[in-house]
Chains A and B, each alone.
Chain A
């Protein structure tokens, strides 16, 4: 008998669970068109559709993100890889094994085509999102198809990047409610990729830090604050088209329309020093109260900050407060979709937490959206004194694969 994780749990009926609320009122996104809820409120998101899942999908709790280097110059090899990855990703997001046989169903004298650690686990809202880095185009002789917006990111003030965990020719973002399911996805995709790609670096994230849907509350980052309240939300169709999805008329729109760009930044926090700041100073750096997340100009978390409201010594939301520095109203209306994750990679040599925020932004044009806001933040944001940028990468995220297609087919076919 073929063991399906979905089958094991006897699920499969579409139930309006976590995802169900999100579906209401939306038809454009494949991630939300048909949500099967399997195993205690942990839905399976469809893999295929207009857009790749994992961009506007309500942010899951756990992340495993991996960047790969190409180890082949052969376009045919890469097409075969993307076909295999597409098939495996579709199966795994539906709660099945990575390969067509299954973790324990195959011949006894062969290694299984699924590694098995997800046996018995539900789909857990798994989404798998693929992207292509700048080197992908150079390596495969596709320079003429490379959009201008996929240029390497500039050096930002304060960057102390580790080259060994920056960049990459391809990326896989696996998000799920269960960390084992996300790790299982990356592990099996890496295994399928041997010969065509090799893992360059990867990052685990243990807790989402932002809400990407109005149905979600905003969680806290490791500073203990709510952030990202002004995120573009999945329900804002017009804003998504303007700020997140590449349009047909954009550079590279012939193959990238309906896709996006993914900026990844590993941002370490100097946790121990931060913890010694008086509460009032912490709130001044962020521009919000720690308790409820209300802007210092008053109200609730959802209240728009009033940057003109006078305070005792300058505006009540300080000039260098994070919420002001990155707010759309202070950045010519620039917005991003930012599903970031808290990470802790143990401790450093001095016994401090090696921890922070794995920042992810989806934007329509990184040069026009991410770069100016990052520059402004690096030079004027009070929080930067407690941050270290240790990794950076940029990828073009192709649109979703339709029935029978593989991810990135419009670029490589």
Chain B
């Protein structure tokens, strides 16, 4: 996925739109079918006009099919009565292209706006949403739930970053002092705090390659630094397989790499303390962490030298679950079935992980049987599919 901090608010939701268009006609007869079509409005945006097929619609899930017939990129907004509050928006509609905006709108007075060239107030008009008996009413305390979720997640990320810094200080001190057993004992635990907020940490494109690059990811001439460089030095066995040679880092090199990791961790922590997260970033981050599991941890590629992949696996799942649980009260209102399914799938995955716990840690990756890896991978897929619908459901 695109890094969550860079993801623009995702409002156009094709899957939901399909449900809206298809669902009612079978069950409720002509009346509901008419209501569904009345909730679909076509918008034709040109360089100097914004033509809507209707100026009113019954309350419920509205679909705006926006076609750009102009020469510039356009945007379409549904705004509150004050013309300021954004109820829904769809951006980046290139010339001759179409986009869809799906939005839940309770009865009330609204303002629509096309914004060709993305400048100024846009071409505005009044829009009315009428009372409707079959409309789902948005809860009045939605906004409160959103704010609560945001505040909780901000605090969680900041706390993990704090702990990452503390544990990294201890790890680097042990490594530079040549206390390898102690460094090895701290390594996986320190990285747990990184992996719990990995999608946030990775969003800093200047720091991530210096801190978390794997040897295979390097560009020609790029200096390899960070966690995995030190990991290889602490667990050199695989580097010596097949008769290959590995030269341990000197004391001076240890200081260089250790100090570098610590300095970058401090920079990361300073930046993270200033971050705020939106609900869609939290939900996307949850999905992103499961992707990290699917592409790096369940395959045993992340901790190539130490084989501590399951620590990272658990940490990614921790971070994903915290993100999910933060937005769960919102999801509970919007799509309780999805919430139920996600609860169940998180539990099933956690049960498999718990079976691999050994003392404070986990089974080394190489000791996992192929069918155990397969079962974990299946559970990741089973969770990831519904999780990929979370952002749309929470915003819907």
Contact B92 A311 (CB under 8 A): yes
Known: A298-B68, A311-B118, A350-B374. A157 touches B97 (CB 8 A): no
A222 to chain B, nearest CB (A): 17
Is A284's CB under 8 angstroms from B2's CB? yes
Closest A residue by C-beta to B99: A280
A270 lies within 8 A of B294 (CB): yes
Q: A272-B294, A375-B219 are in contact. Are A316 and B2 (CB under 8 A)?
A: no
Given contacts A299-B96, A350-B299, contact A276 B373 (CB under 8 A): no
Q: Interface 1/0s, chain A 151-164, versus B by CB < 8 A? A: 00011111110000
Assuming A157-B219, A312-B92, A350-B377, is B97 touching A273 (CB within 8 A)?
no
How far does the alpha carbon of A297 sit from the alpha carbon of B97 in the complex, in Å? Answer: 9
Inter-subunit contact B295/A297 (CB<8 Å): no
CB distance from B103 to the nearest CB of A (A): 15
What is the predominant secondary structure among interface residues of chain B facing chain A? mixed
Q: Do the beta carbons of A158 and B216 come within 8 Å of each other? A: yes
Q: Which residues of B contact A310 (CB under 8 A)?
A: 73, 118
Quick one: which of B10, B95, B219 contacts A299, CB cutoff 8 A?
Answer: B95
- Is B198's beta carbon under 8 Å from chain A? no
- The answer to whether A312 and B91 touch across the interface, beta carbons within 8 angstroms, is yes
Find B2's partner among A309, A352, A378, A382 (CB 8 Å cutoff).
A382
A159 and B220 CA atoms in complex are apart in Å by 11
Q: How far is the CB of B6 from chain A (nearest CB, A)?
A: 8
* Contact partner, A298, options B95, B299, B378, Cβ 8 Å: B95
Tell me, yes or no, whether A134 is within 8 Å of chain B by CB.
no
CA distance in complex: A300, B95 (Å): 10
Q: Could you jot down 14 A-B contacts, CB within 8 Å?
A: A154-B220, A157-B222, A276-B287, A276-B388, A277-B1, A277-B388, A278-B388, A289-B97, A296-B94, A298-B68, A312-B75, A351-B378, A385-B1, A385-B295
A295 interfacial by beta-carbon distance below 8 Å = yes
In the complex, the answer to whether B97 meets A298 with C-beta atoms within 8 Å is yes
Task: Give chain B residues whose Cβ lies under 8 Å from the Cβ of A331.
Answer: none
- Please tell me if the beta carbons of A296 and B10 are within 8 angstroms of each other in the complex: no
Asked if A157 contacts B94 (CB within 8 A), the reply is no
* Option from A157, A297, A313, A379 in Cβ contact (under 8 Å) with B91: A313
Which DSSP category, helix, strand, loop or mixed, fits chain A's interface?
Answer: loop
* Residues of chain B contacted by A379 (CB below 8 angstroms): 219
A172 to chain B, nearest CB (A): 30
User: Taking CB as reference atom, which chain B residue is nearest A284?
Assistant: B2
- CA gap between A270 and B299 in the complex, in Å: 12
**Interface positions of A (Cβ within 8 A of B):** 154-160, 270, 272-273, 276-281, 284-285, 289, 294-300, 309-313, 316, 349-352, 375, 378-379, 382, 385
A-chain residues with CB within 8 Å of residue B291 when the two chains form the complex: 273, 276
Give every chain B residue within 8 A of A160 (Cβ-Cβ). Answer: 216
CA distance A375 to B370 in the complex (A): 35
Closest 6 CB pairs of A and B: A298-B95, A298-B94, A312-B91, A276-B388, A350-B377, A311-B92
Contacts of B8 in A (CB 8 A): 312-313
State the CA gap A345–B109 with chains docked (Å): 57
Apart from A298-B68, A351-B377, A379-B219, what are 11 other A-B pairs with CB-CB below 8 Å?
A155-B220, A157-B219, A160-B216, A276-B385, A276-B387, A277-B388, A280-B12, A289-B97, A296-B97, A298-B96, A352-B377
Contact for A273 among B68, B295, B370, CB less than 8 A: B295
Partner of B294, one of A273, A278, A382: A273
In the complex, which residue of chain A has the Cβ closest to the Cβ of B94?
A298
Q: Once the chains bind, are A316 and B295 in contact (CB under 8 Å)? A: no
User: What distance in Å separates the Cβ of B395 from its nearest Cβ neighbour in chain A?
Assistant: 11
Contacting residues, chain A, for B94 (C-beta < 8 A): 294-299, 309, 316
Contact between chains at A294 and B374 (CB < 8 Å): no
Q: Which residues of B contact A296 (CB under 8 A)?
A: 92, 94, 97
Q: Is B183 an interface residue (CB 8 A)?
A: no
Whether a CB of chain A sits under 8 angstroms from the CB of B177 is no
The reply to whether A281 and B219 contact each other, CB–CB distance below 8 Å, is no
